[in-house]
Structure 1
Amino acid sequence: MLRGLMTLSLGITVLAAGTVQAATPLDGVWLFDNAPSYPGVTMVQLSSDGGKPRGVVTTAWYGPMEMRNLVIQGEKATFELRNLNDKDHATRQWTALLAGKDLKLSGDIWYAHVEQSGGHGTAVDARARTFKTTVLPPLGSLPPDGLAKTPPMGWSSWNKFAEKIDDKTVRAMADALVATGLRDAGYVYVNIDDGWQGTRGPDGAIRPNEKFPDMKGLADYIHARGLKFGLYSAPGPKTCAGFEGSYGHVQQDAKTFADWGVDYLKYDLCSGEWFYDDADKVQRAYYEMGAALRATGRPIVYSLCEYGRFEVGSWGRKVGGHLWRTTGDITDDYATMARIGFDRNGRAEHAGPGGWNDPDMLEIGNGGMSHDEYATHMTLWAMSAAPLMMGHDLRQSSPEVLKMLENREVIAVDQDALGVQGKAVRREGATEVWTKPLADGAVAVALFNRGEASVTMTATPADVGLETVQAVRDLWAGVDLEASLKVFAVPEHGVVLLKVKGR
């Protein structure tokens, strides 16, 4: 940040007699109370003293934001603010207009249109509202810690509940994991995503909000059921849902998480995009939390959620990561799931024991796709050695959904000890043939039909990398087939998943 833009003398001339004279009617400090939660504008500072106008908008989400292309004409200022969340619209237009004694501010940023009115403030007010910036540590490299030898499996709250999550629901999800058999199938993490954070105490320690009266007690409840406990935070001042992030409190938060008994942390870039806008800063931001988690001495799986920026798979392990998002958020529809799973699933060479490409959580059970589309979803994630984090209400799992999620043979493809991420070996029109070598010498083969009508497909021994085929098993049907790669009927948006042995 340009520290000169945050000085308290911005926009005013101090006279010998101690009075203050503004260069234009807009110059000075403007305070905004009762601001909308996003982006949370709290102060505007304007100056045209010296000929070149300058200005800063201070927000709760992004801290001090320098005005760009600022023009002051009479009682009106026009300017642009950088908008890193929307790459197609990197700047947004704003105006500040004097209306009587108030400054009316309006503009767009990311998903919101902002209109606020504020009044003049003093240098003392400016000091109170000045955003306290922090300095990132130098980039280091953390050694492997032996965690996440296979892709993590469990449940996360966001896809179904978003920020409307509470202690009672999380306990119910833990109970459901046990009662349904999902825990015994390998789904052991119970992860609270965004929405649990409250305010910070006088010592700066993060406290949960009223929906989570005892976070340590909740962790104990989850652990007592043979499960692991996960939380969510962000390197910026605010999380994606507008709750308290870890900015300026990274080491303190890591210790708090460890003290509560956290086993998994998802760290979501969100408002940190403003502060950490290039590869070096993003890597150092994620390294800072990775090092802080290691320093606690508690084994904590570290999930990097920065949407695949800056080829994260090439450096995710070095900053302590065990999985890293390769894309933006999934939604419960075939088009989005397929785009992510087929085209945004990360480079295979980055995946392996201790570090995994993460195409986001599972939508199976949320109702937006057909049975065949969900089978494609599960197969894509298994073939990609992706983390399997369910995202539906486990209490409402139908027998069909449970049968799909608990298919041990499909899970085994995902959890295979060799840790190789599968990939497409042949694409023809709307069909794709994927293969994934397995630790026992067999090969998982997926025949995907992305088209709108049923088709017949086959795979050749050459596709599979074998000279001869000795055994074929249909993993979704759970039956052994004749030892040949015959023609298979694959429904629209559907899949056939095979395990092939040969030599």
Structure 2
Amino acid sequence: MKKSKRIFAITLALSLCIISGAAPASAKTTAPEGRLPTMGWSSWNPYMMNINETKIKSQADALVNSGLRDKGYTYVIVDDGCLNATRDADGKLRPQLDKFPSGFAALGDYLHNNGLKFGMYNCAGTKTCLSLAGSYNHEYSDAQTFAEWGTDYLKYDFCYNPLVNMPLYPVAGAATSKSFVADVVETMSKEAPPVRKIVIKELKDGVVTELKTIVIDASTTTVTGGAVIDTGYGADTPCLAMLDANDDLTKGGSGTISFTMDASEIDPAAKYSIDVYCINPDKERLLSMLINPGSAQFPYFYIKSAITPSWSVSDAQPRTIQNVPLTVGVNTIEFYLSQQDLPYGFQQDTARSFEAMSKALKATNREVVFNVCEWGYSRPYEWAGLVGNAWRNTTDISFTAGSVKWDGDPNGRSIVQIYDRNVVLDEYAGPYSYNDPDQLCVGLSGISEVENRAHFTLWCMMASPLIAGTDLANASPTTIEILGNTKAIALDQDELCLQAKRFLQADGVDYLVKPLADGSVALCMFNRTNVTKTGSVSVSNLAAAASAKVSGNGTDHLTDAQKAMFTSAFANAASYTTEDIWTDATGTLSSLDTISADITAHGVVALVITPTK
């Protein structure tokens, strides 16, 4: 079962639309601060786990004193290595006091008093990546703690997640070469396990409470498509059986359990799990589930059943699904098996892990920008815009504090390799929703000044979060100058909220186009090679690329008038002015001209081209 990413995304979107009628309300913040890509500084690239209160304050001071704060770099993000490995007596997160003796509320006050915003870190796992206290199953309590600390931003990582241990499709740099589609879906059989019962549990602040058991019988369960309620598994006890897929692995028989949850059983601050008891002594079997599709944002689930000692109901074994979207009133769970739907269940296990924290943050009534850092494991660009303001599509850009590679890392951890994976996802970016190719590496060792400027330009063209990742207190004037280039920043922070499209690759040069809110167009020519190249594109081809960008996928937020600035006004202009964002050189063009420039190896030429009024 091999699908292109676009087909997969469209199928998922259509499936959700069909079963839901309309998309449920997003849980993420839509605060003004989250509309444009976030700008700030993070501790991970320069320090990794070696952080403390003094270092964070020195970087905050450097943002102010360098002028970067006033150019938009306002978030100071304290990454992994700051929390204690254990919780306090009340089950709350706490800092490592040897590193942060004043506590996080005091640190938040320090940042706020200096015109900055406070960013924190945790994980959609039982532990953080450094094995400190994780937020999985503590989302509401931890969100409240973040609010008490004055947190304005949360980077939410993906280590130690109990549901997902491999990517949906292979991901460069992943800890495993396995993937769910290749190793599970494409090797599946059509046989589904019989289901005996379900047990519903509440999880709140680490405490599990069993709520109710629903058994299979005619009063709770309806069947279609050849599925049956069968008493042939012993003790005249009915089971839901014949849920097998068809020979082509499409959906065959299905059975739906209906049950009611009253208001006393649904706590908005709790999560819910369901143990699904199955019988199958021959092999592990897969089972698809669809839960409350009319109200749930992510309704697809799956399990791989346990091998039981026999076919007897007395040997039925549970498999647990988590983050179940139960609601007050009637709830439904449809059981079946479909090769097409299994990837949705896997993908949405990840989505629900992040949705839980997104909802918890929103419940604090504090405006918090939420960064979904799941490394591209479950194609976050297809769903993370529903729960977060930006999402990581790759592993870390560097695994060594203070340094980065330009290209050619065997695990894909380099600037060019990360750029290549991010640049093709332009149609998924928009207001409040951005692809995040990881922190800026400007000022780190391992790259030249030319590469620093190219890296910064590419990130700005891609509407990436601009999170500086160097020691600003000791940064060179060149580093501060690159990070503070207001013309490049303006491309990133443009009000059209568009990620540039790579519309051409020729002779080692990438060509990116980015329509801008004032009707001008940014053109970036990136020389990927090790020798100087001449970049060349006609004005007419550039105009066509700009028109295609605003007419393509991911531009529904644009008005007809905004699109017409490029499909009509820019495309039909007789002349244009140009400005280089790095040299400030200006020029003029006619509609019949070709834009040409020599580009240094690994460098860029970036121009803003404006139609003459």
* TM-score, structure 1 as length reference: 0.70
Matches within 5 A, 1:68-467: 141-142=26-27, 145-147=30-32, 148-198=34-84, 199-210=86-97, 211-213=99-101, 214-272=103-161, 274-275=163-164, 278-319=346-387, 321-331=388-398, 332-335=404-407, 336-345=414-423, 347-465=425-543, 466-467=571-572
Quote the offset at 1:311 in angstroms. 2.3
How much has 1:304 moved relative to structure 2? 0.1
* Paired amino acid for 1:218: L
AA aligned to 1:482 is: T
Question: Does the 8 Å CA contact 1:365/1:401 hold for their aligned counterparts?
Answer: yes
**2:535–2:597 contact (8 Å) kept in structure 1:** yes
> CA contact under 8 A between 2:28 and 2:359: conserved in structure 1?
no
Alpha-carbon spacing, 1:250–1:144, altered in 2? closer, same or farther (3 Å): closer
- Contact 1:142-1:317 within 8 A present in 2 as well: no
* 8 A contact 1:276–1:282 mirrored in 2: no
Query: Does the Cα contact within 8 Å between 1:170 and 1:192 map onto a contact in 2?
Result: yes
Contact 2:123 2:159 in 1 (8 A): yes
Query: SS state of the match for residue 137, structure 2?
Result: coil
2:164 & 2:435 partners in 1: Cα distance? 25
Q: Please, which of 481, 491, 495 is the counterpart of residue 587 of structure 2?
A: 481
Identity %: 39
State the alpha-carbon separation in 1 of the partners of residues 420 and 602 from structure 2: 12
Counterpart CA distance in 1 for 2:132 and 2:423 is 29
SS of 2:71 mapped into structure 1 = coil
Structure number with higher strand proportion? 1
Q: Which residue of 2 aligns with 1:126?
A: none
* One-letter amino acid of the structure 1 residue matched with residue 131 of structure 2: G
Residue pair 1:239, 1:245 contacting (<8 A) in 2 also: yes
Structure 1: how far apart are the matches of 2:396 and 2:450? 22
Cα offset, 1:469, TM superposition: 3.8
Q: For the Cα contact (< 8 Å) 1:235–1:267, is it kept in 2? A: yes
1:109-140 Cα deviation digits (max 9, x unpaired): xxxxxxxxxxxxxxxxxxxxxxxxxxxxxx98
Unpaired runs of at least 5, structure 2? 1-23, 167-345, 399-403, 408-413, 544-570
**Do 2:43 and 2:79's aligned partners in 1 also have CA atoms closer than 8 Å?**
yes
CA distance in 2, matches of 1:303, 1:421: 17
Structure 2 residue identity aligned to 1:205: K
Tell me the secondary structure at the aligned position of residue 328 of structure 1: coil
3-state secondary structure, aligned to 1:245? coil
**Structure 2 CA distance for aligned equivalents of residues 408 and 386 of structure 1:** 15
User: Whole-Å Cα distance in 2 between the matches of residues 234 and 392 of structure 1?
Assistant: 23
- Aligned AA (1:229): F
Residues 29 and 389, structure 2, Cα contact 8 Å, conserved in 1:
no
Please, which moves more after superposition, 241-250 or 177-186? 241-250
SS in 1 for 2:386: coil
Aligned AA for 1:333?
Answer: K
Q: 1:285 to 1:343 in 2, by over 3 A?
A: closer
* Residue of structure 2 in register with 1:471 after alignment: 577
> Amino acid of the residue matched to residue 478 of structure 2?
E
Aligned 8 A contact 1:345 1:358 in 2? no
Q: Would the aligned equivalents of 1:346 and 1:357 in 2 still touch at CA under 8 Å?
A: no
Report 1 or 2 for greater relative contact order, CA contacts < 8 Å, sequence distance ≥ 6: 2
The separation in 2 between residues aligned to 1:232 and 1:343, in whole angstroms, is 24
SS of the aligned residue for 1:411 comes to: helix
Q: Kindly provide the amino acid, as one letter, of the partner of residue 201 in structure 1.
A: D
Q: Give the Å deviation of 1:309.
A: 2.6
Cα pair distance change 1:166/1:232, threshold 3 Å: same
Once residues 382 and 450 of structure 2 are traced to their aligned partners in structure 1, the CA distance between those partners, rounded to angstroms, is: 33
* Structure 2: distance between partners of 1:450 and 1:421: 20
Q: Deviation at 1:152?
A: 0.3
2-structure distance, mates of 1:144, 1:270: 24
Q: Using the TM superposition, give the Cα deviation of residue 397 of structure 1 relative to its aligned residue in structure 2, in angstroms.
A: 1.4
Q: What letter corresponds to residue 475 of structure 1 in structure 2?
A: I
Q: Which residue of the partner structure matches residue 250 of structure 2?
A: none
Deviates more, 1:386-395 or 1:458-467: 458-467
Specify the alignment match of 1:37 in structure 2.
none
Q: Return the offset for 1:275.
A: 5.0
Aligned to 1:500: 609
Paired amino acid for 1:315? W
| Matched position secondary structure for 1:389 | strand
Say whether the 8 Å CA contact 2:578–2:607 is kept in structure 1.
Answer: yes
C-alpha distance in 1, partners of 2:30/2:595?
A: 44
Distance in 2, Cα, partners of 1:345 & 1:433: 11
The answer to whether the 8 Å contact 1:313/1:346 transfers is: no
Q: How far apart are the structure 1 equivalents of 2:434 and 2:514?
A: 15
Question: 2 CA distance for matches of 1:302 and 1:387?
Answer: 12
Change (3 A) 1:188 1:144: closer
Change (3 A) 1:144 1:292: closer
Distance 1:143 1:212 in 2: 29
What amino acid does structure 2 have at the position aligned with 1:288?
A
Query: How far does the alpha carbon of each residue in 1:271-303 deviate from its partner, in whole angstroms, 9 at most, with x for none?
Result: 116557621211111010000000011100000
Is the Cα–Cα contact under 8 Å of residues 394 and 421 in structure 2 kept in the other structure? no
CA contact (8 A) 2:29 2:369 kept: no
- Counterpart Cα distance in 2 of 1:224 and 1:195: 24
| Cα distance per residue 1:211-249 (max 9 Å; x no partner) | 112110000000001000000000111111221111231
Change (3 A) 1:343 1:315: closer
CA contact (8 A) 1:456 1:490 kept: yes
Distance in 2 between residues matched to 1:269 and 1:140, nearest whole Å: 24
Q: Is the 8 A contact 1:326 1:346 kept in 2?
A: no
CA–CA distance in structure 2, aligned partners of residues 405 and 352 of structure 1: 23
